[in-house]
């Protein structure tokens, strides 16, 4: 019985160390955030720098689960017009995402916005390891 208790205490100590060492970086990250409300103010004809300012950051992934996530999105048939490409490097096509939104922008060769689109349904959830921890009760559903 004592051996089992020591093993359990060791596991709890390791989990607490993990939380104390890794979580502060995730919780208090200096990483820029995506300004979801800025999408409404973005208009065709704006330059890339203006779009970045309104979106609050350069293009990229800004969610909690960006690197190790399960992602789903709707297939809506949005394509950039001729003269641009949707998901290539600047200045042609760019995407800003977080765990709940995907904003897609099409730019011409001069970096001027041609079209914008928000996915009707987009989401990312924690990787399978985090789901298992949640099922085991070792963290909440959003750890």
pTM of the model: 0.60
Confidence check: pLDDT of 25 > 50: no
Residues 82-135 have pLDDT tens digits of 767 554 554 456 888 888 888 988 888 888 898 898 988 777 766 666 667 667
Most distant CA pair in the chain: distance in Å? 71
* Cis preceding linkage at 91, omega within 30: yes
pLDDT at 107: 86
Length of the chain: 143
Domain ranges of the chain: 1-30, 32-135
Backbone angles phi, psi at 80, to 5 degrees: -70, 150
**Given this model, what pLDDT does residue 126 score?**
64
Q: Is the pLDDT of residue 5 over 70?
A: yes
């Amino acid at each position: 019985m004592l051996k089992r208790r020591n093993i359990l205490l060791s596991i709890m100590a390791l989990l607490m160390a993990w939380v104390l060492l890794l979580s502060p970086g995730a919780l208090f990250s200096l990483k820029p955030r995506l300004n979801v409300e800025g999408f409404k103010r973005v208009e065709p004809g704006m330059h890339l720098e203006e779009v970045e300012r309104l979106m609050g950051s350069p293009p990229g992934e800004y969610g909690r689960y960006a690197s190790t996530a399960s992602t789903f999105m709707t297939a809506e048939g949005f394509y950039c017009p001729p003269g641009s490409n949707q998901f290539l490097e600047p200045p042609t096509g760019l995407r800003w995402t977080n765990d709940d939104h995907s904003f897609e922008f099409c730019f011409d060769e001069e970096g001027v916005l041609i079209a914008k689109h928000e996915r009707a349904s987009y989401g990312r959830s924690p990787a399978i390891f985090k789901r298992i921890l949640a099922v085991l009760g070792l963290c909440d559903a959003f750890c």
